């Protein structure tokens, strides 16, 4: 219910199972096709860990920027980390808010 209120999407059963596994401290690998909801799967744990920090590695900087915009609308702090933004200030973790660090890898 909380996922639907914050993100406007009702999660699928596999997304709920993956989120529960993440929240219980398990390592999780999700394999799903384009547009199937992998992004929601790593956003959902942020709703249930109010002081949590999550690091997500993304292949494209553009995806990081898109995630930051969407999470900001939901009231979740997200910081894209790439060659241009890798400053000491961006690596400071605030304990009062859930945040998502988006790491962009480039070849």
| Backbone region of residue 57 per phi and psi (left: phi > 0; alpha: psi in -120 to 50; beta: other values) | beta
Higher pLDDT pick, 103 / 48? 48
67 with 95: CB under 8 angstroms? no
- pLDDT tens-digit readout, 61-82: 778 888 888 888 888 888 777 7
Q: What is the pLDDT of residues 13-67, one digit of tens each?
A: 999 999 999 999 999 888 899 889 888 998 898 888 877 777 777 777 778 888 8
User: How many Cβ atoms sit within 10 Å of the Cβ of residue 3?
Assistant: 18
Residue 85 has pLDDT above 80, yes or no: no
Q: What is the DSSP letter of 51?
A: T
Using 50, 70 and 90 to split pLDDT, how confident is the model at 105?
very low
Query: Angle 27-57-6 (CA atoms, 0-180°, nearest 5)?
Result: 80
Taking CA atoms, 107 is separated from 61, 76, 82, in Å, by 12, 29, 12
């Amino acid at each position: 219910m909380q996922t639907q209120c914050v993100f406007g999407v009702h999660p699928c059963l596999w997304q709920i199972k993956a989120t529960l596994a993440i929240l219980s401290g398990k390592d999780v690998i999700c394999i799903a096709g384009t547009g199937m909801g992998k992004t929601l799967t790593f956003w959902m744990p942020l709703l249930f860990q109010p002081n949590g920090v999550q690091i997500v590695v993304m292949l494209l900087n553009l995806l990081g920027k898109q995630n930051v915009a969407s999470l900001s609308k939901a009231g979740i702090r997200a910081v894209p980390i790439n060659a241009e933004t890798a400053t000491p200030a961006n690596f400071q973790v605030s304990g009062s808010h859930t945040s998502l660090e988006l790491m962009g890898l480039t070849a």
